[in-house]
Amino acid sequence: MPFKEWQIEIYVFIGIASVGGVVLLRLWLQGPSYKKKTRLDGKVVVITGANTGIGKETALDLAKRGARVILICRDLTKGKKAADEIFLSTNSDVGVYHMDLASFDSIRRTSEALKQQEPQIHILINNAGVMMCPEWRTTDGYELQFGTNHLGHFLFTLLLLDNLKAAAPSRIINLSSIAHTQGRMHWEDLNLTENYDPKEAYCQSKLANILFTKKLAKVLEGTRVTTYAVHPGVVQTELGRHLEQSVNRFIHWAFHFFGKIFFKTVRKGAQTTIYCAVDESLTQETGHDCKRKEPHNNASNEYDAEKLWEISAKIVSMDQFSL
């Protein structure tokens, strides 16, 4: 049966309306941008996982503001490539260090070198992260997400504290995630050996990031080193790279396909980190979409923050460390 003319018009109308709807939804999901032009001349910024994704975009923005940015990457080839790109578009001095957050040894070596070179660090951005990988371990034998996202940054931060204090007022920013709301600390089995679940492990590691931030803020009271935890939004990056292996091919494909349409661009995804790094009005915060947002109740539990700190300090042999 041939279409009548009015039927075609309706289909065309529905088609245009759907495309328009998707475009509007995409725009809305992108979230705000940080508009202030605050300069960071003379400041030193250290950022982990800066060769790609949110980290690279953040590094580029802060370099444009005049900061000397130091990229901490586990793959020096990728790191140098990112540094060259940033240098070419900003003419700002960019450094690169090798460090694998999944190895305490590597973290200690890099921190040592970094401390020698940079007596003052004004902004530390703990950005690197791994999400929902298969049941993998760090060099030291810990579950990879807890080990990288939490333990690695815990050790790295403590080792750089003197340099941050020397630069005060200075800031420490942790990339957490909305995923922390579904996280639970598996105190008896932090490695999730009993019943490994890639999502459970990611959520636990992101909850740990906030608990650490809370306790760190307390420890640093009076030093003018302030701490922030950020949810960047849902951003189109390489973070979903392990989904094919840990969940299945379809989820991996869907993550990329819908990501292209609905997730934030990295430019937008970096905005809340940039806001926490440069905005003069801030003291210490958890935030999302360039504004303050309270974390889930479970992340405000001081007893848990205390317990996590003690356990982590023991694991990374920093329990004798005096702050």
Ligand X SMILES: *[C@@H]1O[C@H](CO)[C@@H](O)[C@H](O)[C@H]1NC(C)=O
Ligand Y SMILES: NC(=O)c1ccc[n+]([C@@H]2O[C@H](COP(=O)([O-])OP(=O)(O)OC[C@H]3O[C@@H](n4cnc5c(N)ncnc54)[C@H](OP(=O)(O)O)[C@@H]3O)[C@@H](O)[C@H]2O)c1
Using CB under 6 A, pick the residue from 183, 198, 232, 287 that binds ligand Y: 232
Pick from ligand Y, ligand X, none: which does 146 bind, CB < 5 to 8 A by kind? none
Pick from ligand Y, ligand X, none: which does 148 bind, CB < 5 to 8 A by kind? ligand Y
Pick from ligand X, ligand Y, none: which does 229 bind, CB < 5 to 8 A by kind? ligand X
- Is residue 67 a contact partner of residue 175, using CB atoms and an 8 Å limit? no
Pick from ligand X, ligand Y, none: which does 127 bind, CB < 5 to 8 A by kind? ligand Y
Asked whether position 272 contacts ligand X by CB under 6 A, the answer is: no
Q: Which stretch binds ligand X (CB under 6 A): 57-65, 99-107, 176-184, 259-267?
A: 176-184
- Is residue 264 a contact partner of residue 236, using CB atoms and an 8 Å limit? yes
Q: Which stretch binds ligand Y (CB under 6 A): 22-30, 122-130, 212-220, 289-297?
A: 122-130
- What's the token pair of residue 186? 């598996």
The DSSP secondary structure of 74-140, one letter per residue, reads: S-HHHHHHHHHHHHHHH---EEEEE--TT-HHHHHHHHHHHHHH-S--SEEEE-----S-SS-B-TT
Which residues, numbered 236-275, are part of the site for ligand Y (CB under 6 A)?
A: 237-239
Alpha helix segments (H runs only) across the chain = 5-29, 53-64, 76-90, 104-117, 144-145, 153-166, 198-219, 243-246, 249-262, 266-269, 271-278, 302-315
Give, rounded to a whole angstrom, the gap between the first and last alpha carbons of the chain.
Answer: 81
Task: Tell the residue number behind the tokens 């379809």, with chain if given.
Answer: 250
Site string for ligand X, 146-165 (x = CB under 6 A): ----x--xx--x--------
- What's the token pair of residue 98? 């090798």
Asked whether position 189 contacts ligand X by CB under 6 A, the answer is: yes
Q: Which stretch binds ligand Y (CB under 6 A): 7-15, 20-28, 229-237, 242-250?
A: 229-237
Asked whether position 110 contacts ligand Y by CB under 6 A, the answer is: no
Comparing CA positions, the residue from 140, 127, 155, 131 lying closest to residue 319 is: 155
Comparing CA positions, the residue from 219, 237, 252 lying closest to residue 318 is: 219
Task: Tell the residue number behind the tokens 């990339």, with chain if given.
Answer: 175
Nearer to ligand Y, 40 or 235 (CB): 235
Distance CA 288, CA 273 (A): 9
Asked whether position 31 contacts ligand Y by CB under 6 A, the answer is: no
- Which residues contact ligand Y by CB under 6 A? 48-49, 51-55, 74-75, 78, 100-102, 127-131, 148, 175, 177, 231-232, 234-235, 237-239
User: What residue ranges bind ligand X (CB under 6 A)?
Assistant: 126, 141-142, 150, 153-154, 157, 172, 174, 181-182, 184, 189-191, 208-209, 212-213, 216, 227-229, 298
